[in-house]
Structure 1
Amino acid sequence: MKSNSQPIKLFLVVAFSCTSLLVSLIPVLAKSTDDSSVSDAYGGLRLRSNPKTTLAQATTFNQPQLPPGPAPGGRVRGGAKRGGGCKLSKLDLTALVPFTEEANSVINVWGQTTEERPSWFFYVPYTKDLPYAVKFVVQDQNSNDIYQKAIALPDKPGVIRVSLPTTAPALALNKQYNWFFTINCDQQKNSPPTFVQGVIQRVKLNPATVKELRMTEPLKRYAIYAQNGIWYEALTILAQLRQKNPQDAALQAQWRNLLSSIHLDDIAAEPILSDKP
C-alpha cells in the first residue's frame, strides 16, 4: 500500500490544478464572447469591428460604363475667373457626381438613377448676400427644357440639394437627360456664367435587388445602390443619414470614401446645408 500512495497523491494534485485552471478560465472565456474586444494571433488586444464601420469600409461605388452613343461630355467644376464677375473662392462650384477623364482630356459627367424624380447635390461657394442669379435646368435629348428653377444661394458655403418636384415631368426609363446648374455673377450679363453640367439616365434594377432594398435598413440600402452603380440614390441616402447623425464617425468616413472614389476629396469636409427638395 505504501508504494502506491505517492503516485495517487501526485495524480490528485495534478487533477486539482487542472480543474482550478479551468475554473479560473471560464469567466475570462465568457467575457471574451460578450466583450467588444478579441485577442489577435500575437496575444494582443484589439477592438472588435463595429458593424457600421465595417460596412462603411467595405462599401465601394461601382461606376458603370458610359452609355453607348456620343460621349456625355459635361463639366463637374465651374471655376470663377478674374474679370468674369464671380467672386474668387477657395473651392469652385462643384457637382457631386461621377466623372471620367479621357486620354484627350475630355470630361464625361454621367450617373444613373432609379427614381422618376431624383435629387442632385452641388457644392456652392457663394452666399445669399451676393447678387448672383442661380438656375437649375433639366433637358431631354432634344435639348427641350423639361424643368427649370431659380435657386436661392445658401447662408454659407456648402453642399445643397436640388430635387425634381412632383409637378415636374418624370424621367423616362432608359432615356438620357442633360442637367445644368448655372451661376450668373455678372448682373449686366457681359460675362458668361460659371456652370456645371452632366447627363443622368434612369434605369431599372432587377426584381431581386428591388425586394432586398425594400426589406433592409437605410445604410444597407446605400451599400446596395453603391454596389449596383446607382449614384443618385446612394448619395441621397448617405447625405440624409449624415444630416440625421452629424456626429457619427462611421458615416463621416463613408462620406469621405464615397467622394474620394469620384476624386472629390476636397468637398468631403464641406457641410451639407439642406435636405429639402
Structure 2
Amino acid sequence: MKSNSQPIKLFLVVAFSCTNLLVSLTPVLAKPNVGSSTSDAYGGLSLRSEAKTSHTKSTTFNQPAIPSGPPPGGRVRGGAKRSIPGCQITKHDLTALVSFTQEANSVINVWGKTTLEHPSWFFYVPYTKDFPYAVEFVLQDQDSNEIYKKLIVLPEKAGVISVSLPTTSPGLALNKQYRWFFTISCDQEKNSPPTYVEGVIQRVELNPAVVKELETTELLKRYTIYAQNGIWYDALSTLAQLRQKNPKDAKLQAEWQNLLGSIHLDDIAAEPIFWEQP
C-alpha cells in the first residue's frame, strides 16, 4: 500500500479453540415409555449434554451393555405433567438419578451395576415434607418378591435424596437382577395410578486387581475406577460422598454436572442433595 494512504484499521484474529470438552457418557436420546410424551419424560427440556462444560477434564463413564435375557425396561422420569389427579405440577418431575439406554425399537432400559450388597439410590423429588401423600421405595428380587420397602420422609425443600438398602435387610446376591420402584401416590383413594420411576440393579464382582486398587486409593480415584468400569451406582454414590464432604468444591460440582448432564439429567444437577438420615 502507498505510504500516504490512511492506515486501515484491520485486525485479523485467528482463533484456535483449545477448550477441553468434558468427556461424557455415550449420549442416549431417550424416549418415554409407551403412553407418555417426550415432554413428560424430560420435563419439556431440550436435551443438552454439552450445555455446561467444565475447563477440567472429566471422568468418562463407560456404559455397559444390558444383560442378556428380557430387557429390563423402566422409567427415568415420572411426573404430574401427565395429569395424574392429585399430583401438583412442578418445575421438575420425579427423577431417578440412574443411567439408561435406548434400544433401536425405542424401548428405554433403566439399569445399572453395583459391587455392594447394600447399595444406595438417588432420586430427585419435587415435593417437600408437607406433602400429604405416600412416598415409597420398594425393592424386589427376580421373582417379584418384595425384599425391602420403605416409606420416605421428605426434606424441607425439593431436591435430591438418597435411599440406602440397610444392613438389616438381605443383601444383593451376585449376578442377580433386582427391580426397584420409587412411587408417589397422589390419589388417597387409589383410583388413579401413581407417579413413579423404576429400574433394575445388578450386583457384580470386579477382578482382584481392580478391587485391590480400590482398597488402596482415595475417594476421587475410586470414583474414576468405578466410572471407567461401568459401575454406575458406586460411581454416583462415591461422587455424592465427595460432594457431601466438600460442598463448595468447584471441581466436584463440575464432575457431578458432567455425569448427570451426559445422561440428559443436567436440569437436576444443580438441585440440592439431602442425605438419608440413619
TM-score, structure 1 normalization: 0.78
Match of 1:89 in 2: 90
Contact 2:90 2:126 in 1 (8 A): yes
Which amino acid counterpart does residue 148 of structure 1 have in structure 2? Answer: K
User: How far is 1:182 from its partner?
Assistant: 0.3
Match of 1:154 in 2: 155
The correspondence of residues 188-203 of structure 1 with structure 2, limited to 5 A, is 188-203=189-204
What is the root-mean-square deviation of aligned Cα atoms in Å?
1.5
Of the structure 1 ranges 187-196 and 206-215, higher mean CA displacement relative to structure 2 is found in: 187-196
User: How far is 1:203 from its partner?
Assistant: 0.1
**Mapped partners of 2:87, 2:163: distance in 1:** 21
Match of 1:100 in 2: 101
**Mapped partners of 2:178, 2:56: distance in 1:** 31
User: How far is 1:55 from its partner?
Assistant: 11
Match of 2:61 in 1: 61
The correspondence of residues 106-145 of structure 1 with structure 2, limited to 5 A, is 106-145=107-146
CA deviations 1:225-264 (Å, max 9, x no partner) are 0000001111011111111111110000000111112221
Secondary structure in structure 2 of the residue aligned to 1:178: strand
**Mapped partners of 2:128, 2:64: distance in 1:** 34
Secondary structure in structure 1 of the residue aligned to 2:210: helix
Greater percentage in helix: 1
Match of 2:272 in 1: 271
Match of 1:220 in 2: 221
Match of 2:171 in 1: 170
Contact 2:174 2:202 in 1 (8 A): yes
Q: Which runs of 5+ in 2 are unaligned?
A: 1-53
Which amino acid counterpart does residue 136 of structure 2 have in structure 1? Answer: K
Contact 1:160 1:272 in 2 (8 A): yes
* Structure of greater Rg: 1
Match of 1:21 in 2: none
Match of 2:73 in 1: 73
Which amino acid counterpart does residue 255 of structure 1 have in structure 2? Answer: W
User: How far is 1:82 from its partner?
Assistant: 2.4
Contact 2:121 2:162 in 1 (8 A): yes
| Pair 1:208 & 2:221 matched | no
The alignment of Structure 1 onto Structure 2 pairs a total of residues equal to 224
Which amino acid counterpart does residue 195 of structure 1 have in structure 2? Answer: Y
Of the structure 1 ranges 200-209 and 99-108, higher mean CA displacement relative to structure 2 is found in: 99-108
TM-score, structure 2 normalization: 0.78
User: How far is 1:145 from its partner?
Assistant: 0.3
Contact 2:84 2:193 in 1 (8 A): no
User: How far is 1:275 from its partner?
Assistant: 4.6
CA deviations 1:119-173 (Å, max 9, x no partner) are 0000000111120101111101110001111111221110000000011111000
Which amino acid counterpart does residue 232 of structure 1 have in structure 2? Answer: Y
- Percent identity over the alignment is 74
Rate the CA distance shift 1:56–1:172 in 2: closer, same or farther, 3 A: farther
Q: Which runs of 5+ in 1 are unaligned?
A: 1-53
The correspondence of residues 25-36 of structure 1 with structure 2, limited to 5 A, is none
User: How far is 1:276 from its partner?
Assistant: 3.9
**Mapped partners of 1:93, 1:255: distance in 2:** 19
